[in-house]
Structure formats: structure tokens, C-alpha cells
């Protein structure tokens, strides 16, 4: 996953609910965390966003870490629920809806 899209997240949720390819799901989640961490770095450095965006990315990272924890505990239902929360702040084309 090079870009986080709503369609990609919905595919991930479907695979979690079907309990298929969980290792691949964990790898995709790890990549999503890396992307959000990179975006946080850019936001904090002032290179791309207003300063308020940093808090937005911190919250997204925290939510993805909660998904990781749920998966490591084998709770795919909770992981799917949290991913739906995460996806709720993306447009259909994957653009973020920043809420300040």
C-alpha cells in the first residue's frame, strides 16, 4: 500500500472479517502507520500543513496502533470497528477530511 484509500481500507476490513490473510493485513496496517508517521513529521516540520495538522495525525496514529493491538489480541471485530472509524475521515478518493 503506497497510498491510504477508503477502498483499500474497506478491502482490509473485509479480509479481517473473513479471517483471511491476517499476516498480510498486519503488514498493510504497519505500512499505514508508516505513512501516517511520515505525514506527522511533515506536519510538525511545517513543510506541508498548518500546525494544527500535527494533532490530527497523532490521533490517526493512535487509532491505527489501537487497531494493531486489537489484531495482536486476535480481536478482528474490534480491529474492523476501529478501521471503520479511521476510514470515516476519508473521502471516497482517499483524500483526508481534516477537522480542526
What is the tens place of the pLDDT at every residue in 43-69? 777 766 565 777 888 899 999 999 999
pTM: 0.81
Tell me what pLDDT residue 100 has: 38
Tell me what pLDDT residue 98 has: 47
Question: Which residue stretches of the chain have pLDDT < 70?
Answer: 1-2, 47-51, 91-100
Tell me what pLDDT residue 48 has: 60
Helix, strand, coil share (%) of the chain residues, nearest 5: 70, 0, 30
Tell me what pLDDT residue 15 has: 94
- Domain map of the chain by residue range? 6-87
Amino acid at each position: 500500500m503506497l497510498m491510504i484509500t477508503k477502498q483499500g481500507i474497506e478491502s482490509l476490513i473485509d479480509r479481517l472479517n473473513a479471517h483471511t490473510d491476517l499476516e498480510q493485513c498486519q503488514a498493510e496496517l504497519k505500512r499505514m502507520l508508516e505513512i501516517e508517521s511520515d505525514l506527522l513529521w511533515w506536519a510538525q516540520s511545517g513543510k506541508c500543513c498548518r500546525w494544527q495538522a500535527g494533532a490530527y495525525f497523532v490521533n490517526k496514529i493512535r487509532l491505527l496502533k489501537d487497531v494493531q493491538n486489537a489484531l495482536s489480541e486476535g480481536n478482528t471485530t474490534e480491529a474492523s470497528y476501529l478501521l471503520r472509524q479511521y476510514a470515516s475521515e476519508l473521502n471516497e478518493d482517499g483524500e483526508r477530511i481534516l477537522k480542526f
